[in-house]
Amino acid sequence: MLVIRPIALDDLDALLEMARTAGAGFTSLPPRRKTLRDKIALSLRSFDETPERAGHQRYMFVLEQTDSGAIGGCCAVEAACGLDEPFYNYHVGLTVHASRELEVYGGVPTLYLSNDLTGSSVLCSLYLAPDFRQSGTGRLLSKSRFLFMAAFQQRFAAKVVAEMRGVSDDNGKSPFWEGLGRHFFNIEYEQAEHIVGQGNKACIAELMPKHPIYTVLLPVEAQAVMGIVHPQTAPALQMLTQEGFRYQQYIDIFDGGPTVEAPLPEIRSIKRSQLTTLAAGSVDPAAAPCLIANERLHEFRCVLAPLQWQDEQAVTTAAAIDALRLDEAATARFVPP
């Protein structure tokens, strides 16, 4: 059975392999052993802390096949961004040029370097290995974070954002970087990615032009990918859209990918999640699967399994109960289908 659980130090090799196969644009998971080890260590510390509000914590999870122990994916939530260094995005605004005498009126999309999303919680590091890309797995991996956030809302900010991977070609070239960033840094996009992956995004952003940038001055190729996701990221964006996330004209300063956002209490899976006691029993195989999670911090588990009501009792499979590490009639949180 597939289960989501907090990452452990023993997962380092599997995490490194996923980072190596993720491809260009996945800056939150750089293929560097020390960097990934540091990310795991931060996650372990975060689970051990008892913060009164969102801070520097970062909670990371992996997808595990319980039968084989194979790791097939990962995801994370950063509790609050921009607390140690500025969190930069471009806000796509509009500059209007008009002259009544000349009967001229026109609006030009304009990029403004922004820190507007500072303090928001950030969904990040979502990756599903090709061998695990089957029906329902992506949903489990992505949405499991919402059940964790629903159980421990005090650990997160009122707004949740997700920076979606922007467009790059098979060779790792980003049209947006080539059209804008390269003019200020004589380095390849892959090198810029490496610097960002090491946690040094702000040092590059602070060398970007502080003045507004008229997008009409950028190459057509760069303009065309602003706010557009990489094809491999499109399913993740669709899932977040269904959860109530919206694009509010913020894009990544490196690849132009969109940033989407939602108020935490209004995220669909959080808003619709319910607490119940669970019992193991016979469940109709045709029953719609639900996201089900326990309410434990360090031992958090989440699965996708059928759930039915029988004589006012929530019933799921014995395998799901075991994967969740729940005792009979223990409290769990679930999201109706």
Catalytic annotation, residues: 230
Beta carbons within 10 angstroms of residue 148's beta carbon: 24
Length of the chain: 337
Q: Does residue 75 contact residue 67 with C-beta atoms inside 8 Å?
A: no
Q: Which residues contact 85 (CB under 8 A, 6 or more apart)?
A: 201, 202
Q: Does residue 294 contact residue 148 with C-beta atoms inside 8 Å?
A: no
CA dist list (Å): 275 to 148, 151, 208, 284, 300: 13, 10, 48, 21, 15
Instruction: Spell out the SS3 assignment of the chain.
Output: CEEEEECCHHHHHHHHHHHHHCCCCCCCCCCCHHHHHHHHHHHHHHHHCCCCCCCCCEEEEEEEECCCCCEEEEEEEECCCCCCCCCCEEEEEEEEEEECCCCEEEEEEEEEEECCCCCCEEEEEEEECHHHCCCCHHHHHHHHHHHHHHHCHHHCCCEEEEECCECCCCCCCCHHHHHCHHHCCCCCHHHHHHHHHCCCHHHHHCCCCCCCEEHHHCCHHHHHCCCCECHHHHHHHHHHHHCCCEEEEEECCCCCCEEEEEEHHHCHHHHHCEEEEEEECCCCCCCCEEEEEECCCCCCCEEEEEEEEECCEEEECHHHHHHCCCCCCCEEEEECC
